[in-house]
Chain A
Amino acid sequence: MKNIPSTHADFVIVREFDATPEAVFMAWADPQAKQSWSDCHAENTIEYRLDFRPLGHETHHVAFPDGRVQQIEKVFFDIVAARRIVFAYEIRIDARLLSASLVTVEFFATKRGTRMVYTEQLAYLDGHEDREVRMRGTEEGLDRLGLALLRH
């Protein structure tokens, strides 16, 4: 097998909420609250666990109708109530490791409520030869343009 080097990216998503940093933090910390907004409540989920504490894990397995299985495994490192959550996570599709990331989520009090800053540093590993991802490239590119348009 060819040894294709990993590639790396980082990105930031900033969102403002009409809620206190405490309330936004709780939406990440409380398993029931988390399930109400994150992908882990979605159909096709076959396993979900959240152990929200330093070195605790969050596990999410999805079986797609087309037969692919996606496994997300997350480990929390730093948890400071109403202020910061640091975690790492990996995504596997059919047991192949596509990416591993370090994420810092920070909550800042603002006049409106909370500014949440989500920073992800990502290593892209075994997906480069993924023909399927490439085939979907045009669609993704169009999605990306749509997102770019929304932000301009």
Chain B
Amino acid sequence: MRAAAEPAQLDRMFFALADFHRRGMLDRLSRGPASVSDLAGPLGIALPSAVKHLAVLERGGLVASEKVGRVRTYKVEPRALDAMEAWVARRKKLLNAQFDRLEAYLASQANKSSRR
């Protein structure tokens, strides 16, 4: 598996996510590629502002763009949305939640025996 992201890259990623409009753009892009105007319209923001937000998302490694003719199209960075990684992330999350409950269970057992 890919190594964990560098701290500086994580900073850029979190900065990119720390904005309502940029999260809205990611949400829209998760349904498929889109142009700047596709993305700006629903959010009610001006095109130059949308371009700035997209540059931040791109630096954060969350989106990739490609210029075809005069139109630049944005899409979610495929590696960030890899199906297997999403699956592994979900498995890990479920396992950690179970191990939290295991910890609570073990603590409750320890309480029981100390009260005896």
Where the two chains meet, the residues of A that have a C-beta atom closer than 8 Å to any C-beta of B are 7, 9-11, 13, 15, 17-19, 23-24, 27, 33, 36-39, 98-99, 116, 118, 120, 122, 124, 127-128, 130, 133-138, 140-145, 147-149, 152
Contact status B1-A36, CB under 8 Å: no
Shortest CB–CB separation between residue A126 and chain B, in angstroms? 10
Known: A17-B106, A137-B81. A152 touches B87 (CB 8 A): no
Contact status B83-A17, CB under 8 Å: no
> Which of A39, A116, A138, A144 has the most chain B CB atoms inside 10 A of its CB?
A138
From A37, A128, A136, contact of B105 by CB (8 A): A37
Contact status B84-A137, CB under 8 Å: no
Contact status A140-B1, CB under 8 Å: no
Question: Interface majority SS on B: helix, strand, loop or mixed?
Answer: helix
Q: Tell me the total A-B contact number using a CB cutoff of 8 A.
A: 118
Contact status B110-A134, CB under 8 Å: no
Contact status B95-A36, CB under 8 Å: no
Where the two chains meet, the residues of B that have a C-beta atom closer than 8 Å to any C-beta of A are 1, 4-5, 7, 10, 13-14, 17, 26-27, 29-31, 62, 76, 80-96, 98-99, 101-107, 109-110
From B30, B31, B84, B98, contact of A38 by CB (8 A): B98
Residues of A within 8 A of B27 (CB): 138
10 pairs from A and B in contact (CB 8 Å cutoff): A9-B88, A18-B107, A36-B101, A37-B98, A37-B99, A127-B84, A134-B83, A137-B76, A138-B76, A145-B17
